[in-house]
Structure 1
Amino acid sequence: MFCKLAPVGLILTVMLLAGCSSTSESSDDAAQGSTAADSGHSRCDAAAAQFAVGKPASPTLLEQARTSARAQTARVLGPNDMVTLEYRSDRLNLNTDQAGRVGRVNCG
């Protein structure tokens, strides 16, 4: 009787282990793809918003730069503003000088 059940047990064990195994590369790609697709977020492109450098910061300029950079969110940062160390690849930053002119555009 044991000889008849051994192959069935072996097949079930192999199927169970095969279902649990995956390559880390494919699972990482799938996780990143599903996260980006679910949230609708994409990486921002700061180079596309470089036209803002030298211009006075305004809500209109901020929205134009955000749209051009394909960023989910955007913010204006003054020279003395406190910021968190949180990095967000879908956020555009317009860094201004004391006069309120944009001196640098970056994502984060």
Structure 2
Amino acid sequence: MTSSPPTGGIEAPDAPPAACNATEAQQFIGRKASSSIGNSVLDMTDARRLRWGAPDSVFTMDYREDRVNVIYDEQGLITRIYCG
């Protein structure tokens, strides 16, 4: 049985607001999207919120300096990680 990629988002518990920096998290591009990777991305980026982007998903254009976006493809592989 194959697990489905995560959807929705994650919020860091009790994290103070901080500006996101996605540089270090780029190491996860090409890996299978999972909740554990999402938590690692949150830790590495200092973001307070993570938003998953499934294939063909639609995002609002609001910019949040404390949010990291993790985009994955049809196979559940992460293709992009960026702040906003």
* One of 75, 79, 84 as aligned partner of 2:55: 79
Unaligned runs of 5+ in 1: 1-38
* One of 36, 42, 51 as aligned partner of 1:66: 42
Q: Identity over the aligned pairs, expressed in percent?
A: 30
Task: Select the structure of larger CA radius of gyration.
Answer: 1
Q: How many residues align?
A: 70
**2:31 matched to which residue of 1?**
55
Structure (1 or 2) with the greater strand fraction: 2
User: What's the RMSD between the two structures over aligned residues?
Assistant: 1.4
Structure (1 or 2) with the greater helix fraction: 1
More relative contact order in 1 or in 2 (CA 8 Å, sep 6+)? 2
39-48 or 54-63, which deviates more: 39-48
The SS at the match of 1:64 is helix
**1:97 matched to which residue of 2?**
73
Q: Deviations over 1:11-33 (max 9, x none)?
A: xxxxxxxxxxxxxxxxxxxxxxx
TM score, norm. by length of structure 1: 0.61
CA drift at 1:79: 2.1
